[in-house]
Structure 1
C-alpha cells in the first residue's frame, strides 16, 4: 500500500528521466543495428568472399538481431515508465487537491493522511455551522464531520490509485526480462509480443489511439506533433498500426514493421513446428462416395497458410540479407549475364501482414530521399507466399535504373498492398479486386509525396503488371493517380479508354506487350474500356494513346529479365531519360 507520505514525496519526473535513459539505450541499439545492416554487413557482402567472411557475417547478423531485440524491449520499458509517471502524477494531483481543499476549509491533514476538524458550535437545535469569516452564521446541511470524511475519502482514493499503479507497473516491468545468452531466438520474439500486450494493457489510455482512415497529410501532421520519445512509444506499443500509416517517413514505418515482421515470423515458425499430426483418414465415406475428411481439410488449410506465409516472410528476410550484394539473385539471371555497379541498397519494409493471403510493401532504397521512385504493382495470384519473384523484379529494376548515366538516386517499391485475385477465372476476370484496392494504392502514392524530402527531386513512376494495371487504372478512374509516369506491362485493360484518363502529363503513359503474351487479348473483354458492343480498348491499342515501348522478352512474366531491352526501357522511364526509350 502506498502511504500518504510516499505519494506526497514522489516525483513523477524521476520516472520520466529514467524513461529518457531507456529511450537513449533503445535509440543507440537501433542506430547500431542500422549501421551493422546497412554499412558493415553490406560492405562485407559486396566486396569479399570466403569462409572467413561468411563466418564473420553470421556473427555480425546475430549481433544485429541482438541490437534489434534490445531496441524493442527498451522501448517497451520507456513506455511503461512514462505510463507509470502519468498515473502517479494524476494520483498526486488528486491528493494535493484534496489536501489543499481540506486546509482551505480550516481542517488539518495529519502525516498519516487523516483529516482533523474542530467540533462545531451549536446555534439552534438540529443545526450546526462553521464560522464563515464574514461575520455571518449561515445554516449548513453538511456537518464538519461529514466534510472531513469527504476529504479523507478523496485522499484515500488518491492513495488507492497510486497503489494500483505501483502494483500493476511493478508486475509488468518485472516481466520485461530475457535470458542472458548470445542469440535472440523465435521464443524471444514471441515473448516480446507478449510483453507488448502486457504493457498495452497496463498503460491503458496513456497513449491516444493511432489515427485511422485519415489522409496521408493528416497522418504526417499527427506524427510530426509528437516528440521523438513519443514516436518511440507509439512504435513500441502499436507497431502494426504505425507501420501502415501512409505519409509517415519510410524509416519510421520500416522500424515499426521490422518489429511486426520479427514477431510474426517467430509466431508462424512456432505454430508450424507445433502443428498437430495429420488427421487420419484423409478421406471418409459419405453415402456412396469418398470425400475429404473435414478435419483433415481444416488441418491442411492451416498448414498451407503457415507454409505460404513463411515462404513470403523468408523471402523478405532473404532480401534483407542480400543488402550490399552486386549479384544478389544469381539463379534468377540469364546465363552469361553479370550485373555491375553498386550493391543493393538497404531495404525498407513499409507494410507487412501475414494473415489471409498476406500483404507486404518493400522498397529498395529510401523513397523519401530518392530522386526517382518506381512503385511496382503486380497482378493475379499475388500474395505474400509468392513475393520472392516480385522482389527480384524490383531489385532488377533498381539495378538497371541506378546504372543509368549520372548515378541517379533511385528507389523501387514492390507494392503488394491489396487482396489480389488468386486465379485467372473467375476472380481474374472481375474488377472488384482492383476497385477495392484503388483507394489504398492512391493513398500510398500520395503518402510518398507527403513524406518525401523536399531537398530531393520527387519523380514518381508507377510500373503496373497484368492485373496490377487494372488497379492503377481503377485508382485513376475513381480518384487521382499522383504519378509522373505510368508504365503497363502485359495489361489486360485499365478500365479507362485513353492515356489522358491516367492523370499523368501528356506523353507519359507507356506500354509493353510481348508478342506471345496472351493476357492483353484474353483480359480485354473484362478490363478493357467498352466502346460499342465488341470493342474493348486496352493500352496496346493505338487509340488509347500510350507510347509503345519495344520489348525483346517473351511471355507474360519476363519483362524484368536482367539485361533485356524490356527492362532497360523501364529503367529509362524511371530516371526520366525519355529520349532514350526505344519505341516500336
Structure 2
C-alpha cells in the first residue's frame, strides 16, 4: 500500500512539473557545460616546449601531474602565460600554478560579471571558466600543506556571479566554505567548488538528473586532480541539488566523508546503493522547505529517498537550529560544529549507520 501511495505521489509530481503548475515553470532550462577548458584547441596545437602537451580531455589528472613534474619552472611559467585558461582549469596541474594562471585569466577578462573575483589579488582561485554563466573554485587555507581538506558542492542558482554574493551568504559556496574554514582553522583547507552547471529556479532541471550527471563527471575529475597533486582525500559537503551530483559521483569519488545537507535525494535507495567506501552523513533542518519535496523517483523525475531518513542508513548530523534551507553553515549552529568535526576527522557519533560502509577504504579499494 505504501509503495502504491508513493507511486501516486510520483505521478502527481511528474504531472506538476510537465504542466508547469505550482511554480515549477519558473525554472529556466540550462545546457550543461562539458568538455575540456576554453582554449584547448590552441593548447593542443602549441609546440613551444618542443613536445606534445597533455590533452585536457583525454589524459588523466595523474598523467597531467606527471607531465608538469617533469617541467622546469621556466617552462611551467611559459605555459601559464600562453594558456592561462587551460592551465587554470587543468585538473592535475600544480595548485600554485593554477592560482597564477587564474589570476592572469581574471586580470585579462573584461566581463563585468567577474570583476569581483579579480578585485582582490590575494584570492586563491583554483578554477575559472568564463563560458556560459561562469564556473569557479576557490581555496581557503593552504591546500599544499593542509592535513585535512574539504570540498563544498553547492546546489541550484549558483554560478560565478552568485558564487560569493553578499545576501544569503551561507547559501553560497564561498560563504559555506569560509564559515567551515573559520571553524576548522589552521592545518585545514576548504574548497568552494562551483564547477558545474546548476539548475536555475524550480524547473525541470531541478527535478531531473541531467545536470547532476554532467556535474558528477566534473566533480570526479576535480577530486582526481587533487589526488594527483598530493592533496589528502577530502570530506565532500553537498548542499541541496549538489547532493544529487554527489550521489551520482559517489562510487567514483575519492572522498573520506560524504556529507549531504538539505538534500532532495541522492538518486540512490540507501547508503549501500551509493557503492562508496566513504562515510556518508546527512543533515536536514525540520524547517527546511526541501522537506516538502516528494522523495520519489519516477520516469526520471525526482531524486529518490530522503538521505536524512533512518531507512537510508546515513550517519545523522544534528541540524535542528540550521534555520531553513541555507542556514546549515551559519556560525553557532550545531550543524556547523558537527561539520567542522567531520572535516577534522574528530566526529565520533556513529549512532546510526546500516553497516554498509566498508570502513577504511575508498570506493576503488585503496586504503584511506
Q: Residue in 1 aligned with 2:175?
A: 392
Q: Residue in 2 aligned with 1:499?
A: 271
- CA shift for structure 1 position 504: 4.3
- Kindly indicate whether structure 1 or structure 2 has the higher relative contact order, using CA contacts under 8 Å at least 6 residues apart: 2
Q: Residue in 1 aligned with 2:56?
A: 212
In structure 2, do the counterparts of structure 1 residues 567 and 581 end up closer, same or farther at CA, with 3 Å as the change threshold? farther
In structure 2, do the counterparts of structure 1 residues 559 and 361 end up closer, same or farther at CA, with 3 Å as the change threshold? same
Structure 1 runs of 4+ aligned residues shifted over 6 Å read 527-530, 580-583
Matched, 1:231 2:76: yes
Q: Residue in 1 aligned with 2:33?
A: none
Q: Residue in 2 aligned with 1:348?
A: 124
Q: Residue in 2 aligned with 1:146?
A: none
Cα separation, 1, equivalents of 2:341 and 2:182: 12
Equivalent pairs, count? 301
Cα separation, 2, equivalents of 1:527 and 1:451: 40
Which residue, 139, 143, 153 being the options, matches 1:367?
Answer: 143
Q: Residue in 1 aligned with 2:348?
A: 579
Unaligned runs of 5+ in 2: 1-38, 165-171, 353-368
**Structure showing the higher helix proportion among its residues:** 1
8 Å contact from structure 2 (residues 54, 63) kept in 1: no
Which residue, 281, 285, 293 being the options, matches 1:522?
Answer: 293
Q: Residue in 2 aligned with 1:418?
A: 196
Matched, 1:464 2:238: yes
Unaligned runs of 5+ in 1: 1-196, 270-308, 322-345, 403-407
The 3-state SS of whatever aligns with 2:234 is strand
Q: Residue in 1 aligned with 2:102?
A: 257
The 3-state SS of whatever aligns with 1:560 is coil
Can you list the C-alpha shifts for 1:111-131, whole angstroms capped at 9, x where unaligned?
xxxxxxxxxxxxxxxxxxxxx
8 Å contact from structure 2 (residues 297, 303) kept in 1: no
The 3-state SS of whatever aligns with 2:144 is coil
Map 1:12-411 → 2, pairs under 5 A: 205-207=47-49, 208-213=52-57, 214-264=59-109, 267-269=110-112, 309-310=113-114, 313-314=115-116, 316-317=117-118, 320=120, 347-388=123-164, 389-402=172-185, 408-411=186-189
| Bigger Rg, which one | 1
In structure 2, do the counterparts of structure 1 residues 392 and 229 end up closer, same or farther at CA, with 3 Å as the change threshold? same
8 Å contact from structure 1 (residues 376, 464) kept in 2: yes
8 Å contact from structure 1 (residues 537, 544) kept in 2: yes
**TM-score, normalised with respect to structure 1:** 0.48
**TM-score, normalised with respect to structure 2:** 0.75
- CA shift for structure 1 position 526: 4.5
- CA shift for structure 1 position 500: 3.1
Matched, 1:486 2:258: yes
In structure 2, do the counterparts of structure 1 residues 528 and 565 end up closer, same or farther at CA, with 3 Å as the change threshold? farther
The 3-state SS of whatever aligns with 1:411 is strand
